[in-house]
Amino acid sequence: MDLINSGVTPIIEKDIGGMIEHAVKAGTLRATVSVKDAVLATDLSLICVGTPSQLNGNLDLSYVRRVCEEIGAAMRDKEGFHVVVARSTMLPGSMRNLVIPTLEQASGKTAGVDFGVCNNPEFLREGTAVYDYYHPPKTVIGETDSQAGQRLVDLYASLDAPMIRTTVEVAEMVKYADNNWHAVKVAFANEIGNICKAVGIDGHQVMDIFCQDTKLNLSAYYMKPGFAFGGSCLPKDVRALTYKARSMDLDLPLLNAVLPSNARQVQRAIEMVTSKGHRKVGVLGFAFKAGTDDLRESPMVDVIEHLIGKGFDLRLFDRNVNMAALTGANRDYILNHIPHISKLMVNSVEEVMAFADTVVIGNGAAEFKAAALNPRDGQCVVDYVRIADRTSGPAYDGICW
């Protein structure tokens, strides 16, 4: 506290020393150990305490709880609308289950009425935190009420970055999605580098070329939660690379987990159908993606074969696959390798909808959208691709939403 009030930074971070010195001289920054003094003198409180790991890996929120108790007690004696903003990284549900109840109990007031609460994850890297603050990739505000959210919007008005206002739960999860993705990228690059070195290739050259692709590799493509991957390339190429690594005694935990993770998503998809309790199941789209007749390693074929094996009564429609069964390159595969499936194919979406009590949307062909939006009474739609922007409920169930 004394260091800050004398204009001296207590931490090593590029540019922070000059900023603290300037702010203290200008009278816009003052440090205190009294939470009550801080709350009564301001309109907005930022919670930036640590959330370390417990021994079992769970999050330790004891520091968050303590500071919420102190802020809440201070708000008890404050008039006007105070906004409490959690910047600390917390798992989804922490705001609703800990932060808000603790603030309400300590203050005797109601969140969203007497005071505001927001979650505002930070995206700062140590060593470049000041630069990152002024040049953020995005500003995410999870708000419990619009008045509190607007206070934060005003605070960040000078920053040139996308402003995203959402729920506190989404804001909480965004931070974990970001950090886990960064961790995955590091691990992926290292595993690719380890293979490269083992075969005499410069891993940096490979990844430099990899990173030049901003249409597929470094982009939003492939980044929507949904069904498993399939097709003629991804499964076989993951198998080939991990086999090559094993042959050189390389342990690649991340890449080795890709196919088991994909298989688990297929199993999850199957369980979504079997849990509905209907024996009549219709499938709309079973090529591995819309706009193709390719059934090679289609995860939908795995789902269909499992359901057949469990005694479900199925009807299937995919316009491209129907055409392939007559004239396409997949004719031999359809008629000779999966004849039990080809016998279940029908000629229209309407036939599937009239037959099935559970309808599975297997790929994103546009003609399936109306079916997902308009199930008949008692019919359930299981959507693997989010062909319709709906929220899961009794008549509609999305695989990751």
Q: What amino acid positions are annotated as catalytic residues?
A: 233
Give the C-alpha separation, 141 to 118, whole Å: 7
The DSSP symbol for 261 reads H
Q: What is the number of alpha carbons within 13 Å of residue 357 lying toward its C-beta?
A: 11
Give the C-alpha separation, 240 to 242, whole Å: 6
The DSSP annotation for 154-173 comes to HHTTTS-S-EEEE-HHHHHH
Annotated binding site: 51, 89, 123-126, 175, 222-226, 230, 236, 289, 296
According to DSSP, the β-strands at 380-383 and 396-398 are parallel
Give the C-alpha separation, 8 to 128, whole Å: 19
Q: Which residues contact 228 (CB under 8 A, 6 or more apart)?
A: 262, 263, 265, 266, 269, 299
* Tokens 């305490």, residue located: 49
Annotated binding site for NAD(+): 51, 89, 126, 236, 296
According to DSSP, the β-strands at 139-143 and 115-119 are antiparallel
Length reported for the chain: 401
According to DSSP, the β-strands at 313-317 and 380-383 are unpaired
Which three-class secondary structure state does DSSP give residue 281? strand
Annotated binding site for substrate: 123-126, 175, 222-226, 230, 289
